[in-house]
Amino acid sequence: SGRAEMRDIATIHVVGAAILNEGRCLAAQRGPSMSMAGKWEFPGGKVERGEASEAALARELREELGIEAEVGAWLGRGDSIENGNRVCLDVYIAKADCRSMNLHEHAAVDWVSASDLYAPDWAAADVPILPALHAYLTAAPDTHRCRGPVALLAADWGKEPRKRAVYAAERDERWK
C-alpha cells in the first residue's frame, strides 16, 4: 500500500527561508551542480542530526549565500518525493541584509512579489508553501504578529474512530 511505501523510504529534513523585503520574497534558482537544477526554491538546506531547524537554516544561509539571517516564525511545511527520498521542507520567515550576497551553489536569485509568486518553476517541496506565503505577503502588516496564544489541533485519521488520537499544541513564544 502507499502507506507502507512511505515508511520504507528515507526522509530528508530540510529548511528554507522566506526572506522578505518590501513585500517581496527572495527566491533562489538551483545551480547546475545541484539536483533539480534550474528549479526555484526557498534558500536553505539540510538539517544535521541533533541540530535545531532554526540554527540549521541560519547556517545554510551563511554557507550558501554568505548572509547572516534572523530566523523568525515558521511559515509552513512541504513534502515531496525526490530521487527515491521523501523531502520534508519546513519554511521560516527570515530577515537578512542581502546586499552583499555571494552565491555559492545557486545560479541566480530574484525577488518575487505576491502577484508573481507562482511564475517561477518551483521545486516540488516548495510549492505547498506558496499559498501561505501569498497570504502572508498580502495580509495587513499588523496581522503578522500573534496576539495571545495560538492553538493547533491534529487528528490521527488512520485508526478506527474510537482509537483515534487528537494532539493539541499551543504557541506563545514557542510550541508546547
Question: Tens digits of per-residue pLDDT, 60-95?
Answer: 999 999 999 999 999 999 988 888 888 899 999 999
pLDDT of amino acid 10: 87
- pTM of the entire structure? 0.76
Helices vs strands, H then E, count in the chain: 3, 9
Q: Where residue 55 falls among pLDDT bands split at 50, 70, 90?
A: very high
Check if the beta carbon of residue 14 is closer than 8 Å to that of residue 88.
Answer: yes
**pLDDT tens track for 104-158:** 889 999 999 999 999 999 999 999 999 999 999 988 665 555 444 444 545 455 5
Which residues are bridge partners to 168 per DSSP? 153
pLDDT of amino acid 161: 57
**Does position 167 have pLDDT exceeding 60, yes or no?**
no
pLDDT of amino acid 150: 45
**Does position 176 have pLDDT exceeding 90, yes or no?**
no
Place of cell 550558501: 64
Chain-centroid distance of CA 50 in Å reads 19
